[in-house]
Amino acid sequence: MTLDEVGMLSGEDLVRRYGAAARQLLVSLAVAAVRKGDDDEMKAIDGRMREVDRYLESPSRGAAAPESANR
């Protein structure tokens, strides 16, 4: 995964391309951004990581719904 892909693709697209590994690949990019001290890059990666997490946890993908949603 490249930073260009993070900028161009949605979280859903990243999961479709890289599967469940998308999250770990984003973590690797985040570590590199922190080491470089690039706050803007880190913010972009963090936002995409949140999208990936939401997509991976969405009920439409078969993930269990949060307990509070069942009440």
Task: Write out the DSSP string of the chain.
Answer: --HHHHHHS-HHHHHHHHTTHHHHHHHHHHHHHHHHT-HHHHHHHHHHHHHHHHHHH-GGGTPPPPGGGG-
Instruction: Please identify every stretch of the chain with a pLDDT value under 70, giving residue numbers as ranges.
Output: 61-71
Q: Is residue 70 one of the residues assigned to a domain?
A: no
What is the pTM (predicted TM-score) of this model? 0.76
Predicted local distance difference test score (pLDDT) of residue 61 = 63
Q: Is residue 71 one of the residues assigned to a domain?
A: no
How many domains would you assign to the chain? 1
Tell me which residue range forms the domain holding 35.
3-57
